[in-house]
């Protein structure tokens, strides 16, 4: 039996998998996204939508990437809106956070995080806060409606010609000659020269490797750098 093949298979149709599929399609690859349920309806659908690069909530090794990601997000949203013809609710109002323990004097000032929260919220009384919450921090962060975002990403991917297979639970990544050759699902097999696992931590039970280790590192790097993240 002939098996249709693609240049790349992406396991998981969340925002990371969808973004990566779109980027690879832009570069001329034939891409198949395999999703065990309905595209975009797992963690990405239920996420809070906070676009976070706050130093106290970001590991130092990821700070540069998180900051670049947050800076790229408006352009990312604009591209998805343009291709999908769908509106995405992206807001830039920021967030006020009250800390129990004051940070080191130089920890936040260089980023402009320390807030004059009484000026931002003049009706907010210190007595209404917890006794120790005296340090106000203003996060210049954005938030996005994750359902808008995933719906637009799905539409943009389809518009570009990305193929989808829904209701296919990947059971194993097939390997030939030390390289990924496709995936085996509960229904069928799909062949490809590259397989990238974007299905989240629960997919770790699947047998086989996502792809050769060097390929995996490159694709995860491309995936994270190509499109910003949200949680």
pLDDT of 218 strictly over 60: no
> Over 50: is that where the pLDDT of 215 sits?
no
Lowest mean pLDDT among 66-70, 113-117, 133-137, 198-202: 113-117
Sign, CA torsion 151/171/31/190: negative
Contacts for 50 with CB less than 8 Å, ≥ 6 apart: 95, 141, 143, 230, 231
Residue 101 CA to residue 57 CA, distance in Å, equals 14
In degrees, rounded to 5, the angle at the alpha carbon of residue 177 between the alpha carbons of residues 176 and 180 is: 45
CA distance 155 to 208: 31
In the block, residue with structure tokens 């990405």 = 44
Task: Quote the tokens at residue 199.
Answer: 């299905």
DSSP E strands in 72-145: the ranges are 90-91, 95-99, 135-139, 142-144
Hey, which bits of the chain come out as E strands?
Answer: 5-6, 8-11, 31-35, 50-51, 90-91, 95-99, 135-139, 142-144, 163-166, 170-176, 179-185, 189-192, 195-197
* DSSP code per residue over 125-156: -GGGS-TT--EEEEE--EEE-HHHHHHHHHHH
Task: Check if the beta carbon of residue 142 is closer than 8 Å to that of residue 6.
Answer: no
pLDDT digits (tens, 9 = 90+) for 43-77: 888 887 888 788 877 889 998 999 899 899 999 99
| pLDDT, averaged across the chain | 79
Give the closest residue to 230 by CA, choosing from 25, 49, 5.
Answer: 49
Query: Does the domain formed by 5-47+62-90+145-226 have CATH 3.50.50.60?
Result: yes
Quote the CA–CA distance of 44 and 142 in Å, as a whole number: 16
What span, in angstroms and rounded, lies between the C-alpha atoms of 123 and 85?
A: 40
Q: How far, in Å, are 9, 60, 141, 210 from residue 184 at the CA level?
A: 11, 38, 41, 12
How far does the chain reach from its first CA to its final CA, in angstroms? 42
For the chain, the domains span 5-47+62-90+145-226, 95-139
pLDDT, tens only, 133-191: 556 677 778 899 999 999 999 999 999 999 999 999 999 999 999 899 999 999 999 99
What pLDDT score was predicted for residue 45? 86
């Amino acid at each position: 039996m002939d098996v249709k093949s693609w240049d790349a298979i992406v396991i998981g149709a969340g925002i990371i998998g969808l973004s990566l599929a779109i980027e690879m399609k832009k570069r001329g690859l034939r891409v198949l996204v395999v999703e065990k349920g309905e595209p975009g309806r797992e963690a990405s659908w239920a996420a809070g939508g906070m676009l976070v690069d706050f130093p106290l909530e970001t590991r130092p090794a990821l700070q540069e990437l998180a900051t670049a990601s947050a800076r790229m997000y408006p352009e990312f949203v604009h591209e998805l809106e343009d291709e999908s013809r769908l509106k995405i609710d992206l807001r830039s109002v920021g967030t006020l956070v009250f800390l129990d323990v004051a940070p080191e004097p130089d920890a936040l000032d260089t980023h402009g995080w320390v807030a004059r929260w009484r000026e931002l919220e003049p009706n907010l009384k210190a007595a209404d806060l917890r006794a120790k919450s005296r340090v106000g921090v203003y996060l210049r962060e954005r938030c996005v409606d994750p359902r808008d975002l995933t719906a637009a990403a799905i539409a943009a991917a389809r518009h570009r010609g990305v193929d989808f297979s829904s209701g296919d639970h990947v059971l194993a990544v097939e390997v030939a000659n030390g390289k990924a050759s496709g995936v085996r699902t509960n229904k069928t097999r799909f062949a490809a020269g590259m397989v990238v696992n974007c299905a989240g931590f629960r997919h770790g039970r699947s047998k086989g490797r996502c792809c050769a280790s060097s390929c995996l590192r490159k694709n995860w790097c491309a995936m994270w750098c190509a499109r910003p993240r949200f949680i």
